[in-house]
Amino acid sequence: MIHCIINDNIPFALTSPSSNFISLRIEQQLDRERDAEYNISVTCSDQGVPVLSSSASLFLQISDVNDNAPVFEKSHYEACVLENNKPGLSIFTVKASDADWNQNARVSYILEDSTVNGVSVSSYVSVHPDSGLITAVCSFDYEQLKDFLFRVKAQDGGSPLLSSNVTVKISMKDQNDNAPQVLYPVQTGASVIVPRAADVGYLVTKVVAVDVDSGQNAWLSYKLQKATDRALFEVGLQNGEIRTVRQVTDKDAVKQKLTVVVEDNGQPSRSAVVFINVAVADSFPEVLSEFTDFTHEKLYDENLTFYLVLSLAAVSLLFIYCMVVIISVKIYRWRQSRFLYQPNLPVIPYYPSHYADTGVTGTLPHGYNYEVCMTTDSRKSDCKFSTLGGQNCLETNATFCTYSDLRNLNLLFSH
């Protein structure tokens, strides 16, 4: 009788349906992710004396099935991005792994569809399908969006597909990109009245400003940059209150102008400027007369400047027009003189048709033969003609005739 055994601690067992062969049976559920292969040693021995035995080895590989979904390294992800970033900025990478093998373990990443402030999340970020790299699609603005959530899904390549997802939070870090905004006093040019009986510490007005940034970028400080009389007013560094430093006297000017700078605590800092008109007077008519004269003076200066500029422009245009006209006339006269005076212009006589004598071959009748007599300086003079009875041709005395002279000649012939 033959007895067979296998090595211990494996999920297999031997059965012997007959004396001629044995079978290997699975005793427990196999898990390739735990044990991908087994090396089984089978030893068979007889019952004789001495006992004789033999052994054989069996190498067994476990095939994979897609029974594991991808698992992310973290249960959730968070990242902080400085606002005003450039589109395409790489934020961070999500990572998931799959315990399966080969195609079943190939993980791809997908951005799950959702909305942020009514806009698709894909307008803000994107996820690389292979690496899981999350990239900013747009430039973030802390004042518009401080943070947002979205989900990334990791799925394998098995059949059927198995997947898992994770929540990602993106927070924006504020940058000092906004200057303070002055809410009060409104810049209308109005004046604050301070009575001459005002004592030390009298509250003139208060500058109210806000900064839409956050943290220290929104901490504001107030400084008196310029004043008609710096010894009369001061500004609270933190509260923006403008108060009198000393007693107001009759020697103080009625019109006082203050320039206050509001500055935040960012790096680099940003600031805003507010102008405040202060009237030191006991009655409203006094203030009105002072500032009315000032306003009229200012308007007069502005109107005078406007009309001076307008007059200068008109004179300049008139000068340019005159220059163009003069140059055009000069060019016209020069072209006329060039056209009228041509020294090489031949003398071409004109014979009116009604004076032609067809009976005489090659010549005119004797009564209509002329001699052209001109001097070398006769460009603008008239042509002279004399009748020669025995002449049968038109003679020229080494002179030239202008185009206007030829026209006169033709007119004489026609008469």
Burial of 174 (0-12, 13-18, 19+ CB in 10 A): buried
For 42, the 3-state DSSP assignment is strand
The rounded distance, in Å, linking the Cα atoms of 42 and 58 is 8
Query: Does the pTM of the predicted model rise above 0.75?
Result: no
**DSSP alpha helix (H) spans, 247-283:** none
Helical segments of 96-211, H only: none
Amino acid at residue number 194: V
Q: Rg of the Cα trace of the chain? A: 56
Cα angle 177, 182, 187 (rounded to 5 degrees) comes to: 130
Peptide bond into 365 cis (omega under 30): no
* Cα–Cα distance, 38 to 10 (Å, whole number): 8
Contacts of 317 (CB under 8 A, 6+ apart): none
What residues does 116 pair with on adjacent strands?
A: 119
H helix count then E strand count, the chain: 2, 28
Q: How confident is the model at residue 349 (pLDDT cuts 50, 70, 90)?
A: low
b/e 340-375 (16+ beta carbons within 10 angstroms → b): eeeeeeeeeeeeeeeeeeeeeeeebeeeebbebebe
Query: Average pLDDT for residues 314-328, to the nearest whole number?
Result: 92
Whether the ω angle into residue 349 lies within 30 degrees of 0, i.e. cis, is no
Flag whether pLDDT at 412 surpasses 50: no
pLDDT tens for each residue of 213-246: 999 999 999 999 999 999 999 999 999 999 999 9
Nearest 10 degrees: Cα torsion 242, 247, 252, 255: 30
So what's the pLDDT on residue 397? Answer: 40
Give me the count of residues in the chain: 415
Cβ-contact 264, 211 below 8 angstroms: yes
Quick: pLDDT tens for 56-111.
899 999 989 999 999 999 999 999 999 999 999 999 999 999 999 999 999 999 99
Question: Which residues does residue 37 pair with via DSSP β-bridges, in sequence order?
Answer: 61
Domains of the chain: 3-61 (2.60.40.60), 71-173 (2.60.40.60), 181-282 (2.60.40.60), 353-414 (no CATH)
272, 180 Cβ separation under 8 angstroms:
yes
Encode pLDDT of 25-58 as tens digits: 888 888 888 888 999 998 888 888 888 888 989 9
**130: which residues sit within 8 A by CB, 6+ positions away?**
108, 109
Q: Which of 215, 237, 226, 220 shows the shortest CA–CA distance to 183?
A: 220
